[in-house]
Amino acid sequence: MATSPNPSARSKAVAKAETVAVAPPCAMVIFGAGGDLTKRLVAPALYNLVTARRLPDGFRLVGVDHGNRTVDEWRKNLTDMMNEFVAKRDGEFQADRLDQAAWKWLTDRMTYVQGDFTDPRTYSGLKEHLAGLDKTAGTAGNHLFYLAVADRFFSVVVAALGTAGMVSEEGGHWRRVVIEKPFGHDLPSARALNAAILKSLQEHQIYRMDHFLGKETVQNIMALRFANGLFEPLWNRQHIDHVQISATETVGVERRGKFYEVTGALRDMVPNHLFQLLALTAMEPPISFDAEAVRDKKAEVIQAIRPVKQPMRDAVRGQYDAGTVLGKPVNPYRREPDVAPDSNVETYVAWKLQIDNWRWAGVPFYLRTGKYLRRRWTEVAIRFHQAPYTLFRGTHVERMNPNWMILRIQPDEGIALQFAAKRPGPTMTLGNVSMDFAYKSYFATAPSTGYETLIYDCMIGDATLFQRADNIEAGWRAVQPILDFWAGNPGKGLATYAAGGDGPAAADELLTRAGRAWRPLE
């Protein structure tokens, strides 16, 4: 039984509807303890797990970083950041106030180890530190290593953990490693990284993190499809005309110019976030919700993506120019800090792809993502086939209205179903109506960064929401022809778009060629 402080009234409402077991005792080690990811997402997520009473007494948080600071300085740094989040309320962490008892419960369990990630002495010191916690703090010998570091350190840290004998599972103790994205930059690098970490770890010990999968509405896609006899019979090529998956942002590259210059929108968003939404939307029903059963079906969908033969026709890359976003003028991408003045890196990508299997043959999937667009919005929109018009000849109906199911991922989480209904009056005239389900209206939801579920799943050993090596490599294999074409044709087909708009006109042409159109970003 957890002895975390009493949860807030809102958390109690959640707990009443859902009983969740407390995680097993463990020491969680964060490499990159002083970094942005730890401050913005990991520490707030752990705080939310405390208020939800999901962490055990035998939990300890160990920070590892090159910064020469004390544990008190680390605690203060995180505390200042949490207070700033509460004051500004503009980050992933949202709360009216900081529960001081809950935060103290967490900070009292923090320790800190200073060291260079490339120095073997860091790992020998960490090993000794963890051994002490295992004896005195009740962590039961279970260790969760979280790599909140630059991707160039992923294989370095894993290899060093292996050399130090810190990831071998003996005596019933578990050892798990969380690896953030980007997991590779292309297919060869993803394969090389998988091969490198599998020298020290077994696949069941590896948790490849994609925080999109921690969002309730993403997980709800499976519940919507497989728990409702109403929808699954319609979920195929006989009834669906096409699918649009959008993840648009109102922010630019900000201070991440160096990162973005070697990454771009395609690498940054498509093989991970958008493909995860694609997989959940298009996967076949698994035989159970066992982790491997679900991951098998997700991998099959990504493996079934038709290889790109005409990148210029089926994929669009754009780069934002000057414009106005949310009422403020912004610079073009090429004038951002640490960006080359002649950069051909894309900040927007749209792609028409096909899935070559029985369920989806002939159904196009349209993906788009970009920065400095009109609206921050992530959704999966399913467009059903039009009803025949024949019946309505001779009426005031000029055309049939489309039917949509919209799965809103963020920021306004929910599901909408759009269909046609007769307008009041003596004539047959149709109007579009919507049935709308909003999460916040039906369920009491605790504050979440999207990381809470994923960290908790790492602790209990549930890998359902994490990517396997074959899934990662299948994603990179699908995008590799586009990456190769763009690398061999610098600047060819790169379209600019005004910041604060809907993206480049070339993206519209992907759909207008078939008489379709993007859902507006309004």
Domain boundary, last residue among 176, 191, 210: 210
Check whether residue 230 and residue 182 sit in a common domain. Answer: no
Does 1 reside within a domain?
Answer: no
Its domain, for residue 252, covers: 213-386+468-512
Domain boundary, last residue among 210, 232, 260: 210
Check whether residue 174 and residue 276 sit in a common domain. Answer: no
Does 517 reside within a domain?
Answer: no
Does 463 reside within a domain?
Answer: no
Q: Please give the structure tokens belonging to residue 227.
A: 């728990």
pLDDT value for 60: 97
Check whether residue 323 and residue 311 sit in a common domain. Answer: yes
481: left (phi over 0), alpha (psi -120 to 50) or beta: alpha
pLDDT value for 394: 54
- The active-site residue, picked from 129, 143, 211, 273, is 273
pLDDT value for 9: 40
Task: Give me the long-range contacts of 10-19 (CB less than 8 A, separation at least 24).
Answer: 10/444, 10/446, 10/447, 11/51, 11/52, 11/53, 11/446, 13/444, 14/52, 14/443, 14/444, 14/445, 14/446, 15/52, 15/53, 17/443, 17/444
pLDDT value for 115: 95
| Count of domains forming the chain | 2
pLDDT value for 4: 46
pLDDT value for 446: 65
Check whether residue 205 and residue 285 sit in a common domain. Answer: no
pLDDT value for 2: 46
Does 483 reside within a domain?
Answer: yes
Check whether residue 224 and residue 371 sit in a common domain. Answer: yes
What averages of pLDDT result for each successive group of 10 residues across the chain (522 residues)? Answer: 43 47 96 92 94 94 94 94 80 78 96 96 96 92 96 96 95 94 92 96 94 78 89 93 96 91 95 94 92 94 96 96 96 96 97 97 97 95 77 54 88 84 71 79 73 94 92 96 95 94 96 94 82
Check whether residue 191 and residue 231 sit in a common domain. Answer: no
Check whether residue 52 and residue 152 sit in a common domain. Answer: yes
Prediction pTM value: 0.89
Does 100 reside within a domain?
Answer: yes
Check whether residue 202 and residue 228 sit in a common domain. Answer: no
* Residue 215 vs residues 36, 171, 358: alpha-carbon distances, Å: 20, 35, 29
Q: Please give the structure tokens belonging to residue 146.
A: 């979280």
Check whether residue 106 and residue 58 sit in a common domain. Answer: yes
Check whether residue 205 and residue 217 sit in a common domain. Answer: no
CATH number where 96 lies: 3.40.50.720
Does 102 reside within a domain?
Answer: yes
Which of 217, 218, 320 has the alpha carbon at shortest distance from 273? 218
User: Is 173 noted as a catalytic residue in this protein?
Assistant: no
On whether the CB atoms of residues 130 and 88 are closer than 8 A, the answer is: no
Q: Please give the structure tokens belonging to residue 346.
A: 């894309």
Does 476 reside within a domain?
Answer: yes
pLDDT value for 8: 42
Does 352 reside within a domain?
Answer: yes
pLDDT value for 181: 85
pLDDT value for 87: 79
Check whether residue 182 and residue 148 sit in a common domain. Answer: yes
Q: Please give the structure tokens belonging to residue 221.
A: 């896609």
CATH number where 303 lies: 3.30.360.10
Domain boundary, last residue among 210, 245, 265: 210
Check whether residue 343 and residue 311 sit in a common domain. Answer: yes
